[in-house]
Structure 1
Amino acid sequence: MVLSYKNSGLSVIRIVRYFYYFGGGCSNHVKELSEKINPYLKDQIIITSDIDDIDKEFDRECPVPVIRIKSPDIKKRFGIPVTPLNNLLFMINVYRTLEKMERPDIIHAHGICPVAFGSIIGRILNIPVVGMLHGSSEAYSPISGLFESTLAVLFKPDHALILDDGSPAPQKFLKLWGDRVSIVYHGIDTEYYSINSQFNMVRERLGFRASDFLILSTSSLITVKRPDLAIEAFVKFLEIKAIDERRAYLIFAGDGKLKESLMDLVKNNSIMESVKFAGKLKPDEIKDYLSIADAVVGTSVYSNMNRSIQEAMSSGAAVVAFNSGRLDRLIEDGSSGLLVKPGDTSEFADKLYMLYENPELKETLGKNARNTILSERSWDLRIKQELEVYKLLMTELNESGRN
């Protein structure tokens, strides 16, 4: 941790729309961030939605108190988008909750809707607002990107931390918000995501042989991640491998809307016995799969500069990924991973076969990958950046006399 920093004495409220085990990279990011920065704050509370059937173990494991608030969840009808309305109703309840609490020094909102509506709350309650954006909604659809841009033009936080996830987000928000923006990288918990020397025991427990060649994807089964290309590359890999008796598997450790269509694709290619859908997994379960993987794949043609790839690198896994999102800024091809031209599944299959033929290459790539994460994705730097932003905003508040 950043040992040169003392406790800032600041209280922070984090606003997160969705916060649960399977809430994706944003949930994991917020959970780790709150843990790592907590020693340097007076106190910290997360305010989020009360989701039906939420696993209460998640809140108990969270390093800071979590307040879940009930909020209407209006369902889409007649093709009319209701997400903006649901987000507005959620933020109204956030405001009502904050009114009853001791005023925090900082509101730190995660996601464009909490940032936008949180900025209004900050003005009303005279509290500085830090916005955190985990990439851009443009990754999901042009309409989502337009909605995001509209909110960003209308509502501006006092300062924004924009995650460089390989998307156009940094350039977009620098243009919209100018010097209010600081660009940050993923912080990876290198103690949690570390090399597991007991991987053969884990393989046996999960039903695999020590000799099996295991290809793992830990991405969600959604369009932007292109899991269909993982299957396409795997089919070509099996053709190269041909009659070799060593078993090979493609494992999807994730869930999403594309699962049924992916299962159909697997069936159509007659590889049902070689593809495993592990479903939704908790972080500890993901760690187990990372420890036994011979290759971890990234098949998004939009950006593979994401948490799942960097967690795999931290775990000492050999990564094979499309060089999207300028991933070559982090991975040196042939040294800390194997990079492939985006969309080229034939080259992808060739790179997988390189690992299949050369187990020593896996060890070299994994070792170098972990060293890269240790040196370039430490939480220390991230915590320093966030504390400096908090300090700046409090100085500006005091100088303006707003308090």
Structure 2
Amino acid sequence: MRMDALPDPAGPSGAPPRPLRIAYVTETWPPEVNGVALSAARFVQGLLQRGHRVQLLRPHQGEGERMANRQEGAGLAGLEEQLVPGCPLPFYPQLRMGWSRAGTLQRQWQQWQPDLVHVATEGPLAWAALRAARRLGLPVTSDFRTNFHAYSRHYRIGWLQGIVLNYLRAFHRRTDGTMVPTDALRRELAAQGFTDLSVVGRGVDTTLFTPQRRSQALRASWGAQPGDPVLLCVGRLAAEKNLLALVSAFRTLQACHPRARLVLVGDGPLREELRVRCPQAVFAGQRSGEDLAAHYASADLFAFPSLTETYGNVTPEAMASGLALVAFDQAAASQLVRHGENGLLVPPGDALAFCRALAELLDHPQRRQAMGRQARESMRNQGWDEVVARFEALLHQVVLRRGANVGNADSALPAAVRSGA
């Protein structure tokens, strides 16, 4: 049974459910810059604002995390963090895996007594958390956020794709429910044997990402004169993002639009190869906060060539910033873009159609600008509050499904846990 098919956790009286004690497990967290880390922080922040108690279990990230967490910490008051050792992820050294023994987590949770454990990633730390929760009889929910099985073919280990998919399926089937960001992904995973799937989308901060942050000074730093069109792409500079297709398309477009500029925001292992293939591109590096928002707003067109996204947070960020979007018809783009109104969608993998769509909007600046205005308008009701509220409701439903009394934190636990046995 899907989680969203369960009854209203508020019950027939309509009274709001009591706060939960939630152990939230993730192997990526700000200041790491990726969609999983940033959206995980948003969900945790939303849970805290709704009065829930959250224990965050994540790997140490080194000295760089301290300053960033001081900057982010204002919205995470009351968060209890449990840091564990970590090491770089193979083939993806900018991300880390966490390590802990299930027995250690079991003893810790016997004391803290969570109502539920939520795992946002599927690495060793999450596996230990799943084992510990199962020993204690605690309900567990999970997120499917990253197509790691699809990534394998971009790192010359395509033979691992089936093995990784089998692991992910086995992992998620051991939880009480898995949340996915789009209905298309829910259908795809269901066809591959995943069960108990529910859709929880993503939000966008329309006060941060807004056309009002457009900066002529920033455009000038890119070498863009008034009237010069700027194509922007934001994301990790890595093989799985299909950026070579974007660079190829841009070089083709330069024949008719020699004043066009390409700006790549992000960093990663493909940076030097991209620089060699397209020395005219501007490599802006990683950006965050208002600085990132200014980069979006100062461009004219968002070009997103990725074929491996489960969602793609950059899609609503670009649209909220007033940019028309050209993307393949999948993930968030398929859900948010109305073809011909606020952007253009092309068949997945059709590089020629992708290039032609970019050319169409470069050739018709007035149409591009009208689409950008429509993109901004379509994001006005895509805030985080409703998204977090749905996430919260699903957590309550899982606790109810396991026979717990949400109004009493102790009664939500097995007797052995309450006694500390």
**TM norm structure 1:** 0.82
Map 1:80-95 onto structure 2 (within 5 A): 87=97, 89-90=99-100, 92=102, 95=105
Alignment counterpart, residue 207 of structure 2, candidates 187, 191, 194: 191
Distance 1:87 1:148, change over 3 A: farther
Distance 1:393 1:365, change over 3 A: same
- The SS at the match of 1:112 is coil
Q: Does 1:134 align with 2:145?
A: yes
> Aligned partners of 1:101 and 1:190: how far apart in 2?
40
The answer on whether the counterparts of 1:300 and 1:324 sit within 8 Å (CA) in structure 2 is: no
- C-alpha root-mean-square deviation of aligned residues, in Å? 3.3
Q: Does 1:249 align with 2:261?
A: yes
Task: Tell me by how many angstroms 1:159 deviates.
Answer: 2.0
Task: Tell me by how many angstroms 1:176 deviates.
Answer: 3.6
Q: Does 1:32 align with 2:42?
A: yes
Distance 1:387 1:197, change over 3 A: closer
Task: Tell me by how many angstroms 1:315 deviates.
Answer: 1.6
The answer on whether the counterparts of 2:322 and 2:372 sit within 8 Å (CA) in structure 1 is: yes
Which amino acid in the other structure matches residue 177 of structure 2?
H
The answer on whether the counterparts of 2:48 and 2:54 sit within 8 Å (CA) in structure 1 is: yes
The answer on whether the counterparts of 1:135 and 1:165 sit within 8 Å (CA) in structure 2 is: no
Task: Tell me by how many angstroms 1:343 deviates.
Answer: 4.2
Q: Which moved more, 1:93-102 or 1:114-123?
A: 93-102
Distance 1:8 1:368, change over 3 A: farther
1:9-41 Cα offsets, whole Å, 9 max, x none, are: 112221111212334110011111222332223
1:152-185 Cα offsets, whole Å, 9 max, x none, are: 326611222122286x56532575443x321222
Name the structure 1 match of 2:325: 319
Task: Tell me by how many angstroms 1:319 deviates.
Answer: 0.9
Distance 1:175 1:262, change over 3 A: closer
- The SS at the match of 2:255 is helix
- The SS at the match of 2:63 is coil
Q: Does 1:203 align with 2:219?
A: yes
> Aligned partners of 1:313 and 1:326: how far apart in 2?
11
The answer on whether the counterparts of 2:182 and 2:332 sit within 8 Å (CA) in structure 1 is: no
**Alignment coverage as a number of residue pairs:** 381
Alignment counterpart, residue 261 of structure 1, candidates 245, 270, 273: 273
Task: Tell me by how many angstroms 1:145 deviates.
Answer: 5.3
Map 1:289-304 onto structure 2 (within 5 A): 289-303=295-309
Which amino acid in the other structure matches residue 311 of structure 1?
E
Task: Tell me by how many angstroms 1:357 deviates.
Answer: 3.8
Q: Which moved more, 1:43-52 or 1:55-64?
A: 55-64
Q: Which moved more, 1:118-127 or 1:201-210?
A: 201-210
Which amino acid in the other structure matches residue 83 of structure 2?
I
Q: Does 1:352 align with 2:358?
A: yes
Task: Tell me by how many angstroms 1:237 deviates.
Answer: 0.7
The answer on whether the counterparts of 1:134 and 1:165 sit within 8 Å (CA) in structure 2 is: no
Task: Tell me by how many angstroms 1:353 deviates.
Answer: 3.5
Name the structure 2 match of 1:121: 132
The answer on whether the counterparts of 1:109 and 1:115 sit within 8 Å (CA) in structure 2 is: yes
Which amino acid in the other structure matches residue 309 of structure 1?
T
Give the unaligned 5+ runs of structure 1.
267-271
Task: Tell me by how many angstroms 1:362 deviates.
Answer: 2.7
> Aligned partners of 2:23 and 2:251: how far apart in 1?
48
- The SS at the match of 2:268 is coil
Alignment counterpart, residue 160 of structure 1, candidates 165, 178, 190: 178
Task: Tell me by how many angstroms 1:193 deviates.
Answer: 2.1
| Percent identity for Structure 1 against Structure 2 | 19
Which amino acid in the other structure matches residue 236 of structure 1?
T
Name the structure 1 match of 2:400: 395
Q: Which moved more, 1:256-265 or 1:357-366?
A: 357-366
- The SS at the match of 2:114 is coil
> Aligned partners of 2:21 and 2:49: how far apart in 1?
12
Give the unaligned 5+ runs of structure 2.
1-13, 153-157, 406-410, 415-421
> Aligned partners of 2:362 and 2:88: how far apart in 1?
50
Name the structure 2 match of 1:338: 344
Q: Does 1:368 align with 2:374?
A: yes
Name the structure 1 match of 2:287: 281
Distance 1:118 1:169, change over 3 A: farther
The answer on whether the counterparts of 1:316 and 1:369 sit within 8 Å (CA) in structure 2 is: yes
The answer on whether the counterparts of 2:265 and 2:287 sit within 8 Å (CA) in structure 1 is: yes
Task: Tell me by how many angstroms 1:276 deviates.
Answer: 0.8
Name the structure 1 match of 2:232: 216
Higher relative CO (Cα under 8 Å, sequence separation at least 6) belongs to 2
Name the structure 1 match of 2:9: none
The answer on whether the counterparts of 2:178 and 2:197 sit within 8 Å (CA) in structure 1 is: yes
The answer on whether the counterparts of 1:165 and 1:305 sit within 8 Å (CA) in structure 2 is: no
- The SS at the match of 2:208 is coil
Name the structure 2 match of 1:269: none
Which amino acid in the other structure matches residue 387 of structure 2?
R
1:42-83 Cα offsets, whole Å, 9 max, x none, are: 32232211012323233221432362524153897xxxx999
> Aligned partners of 2:274 and 2:183: how far apart in 1?
26
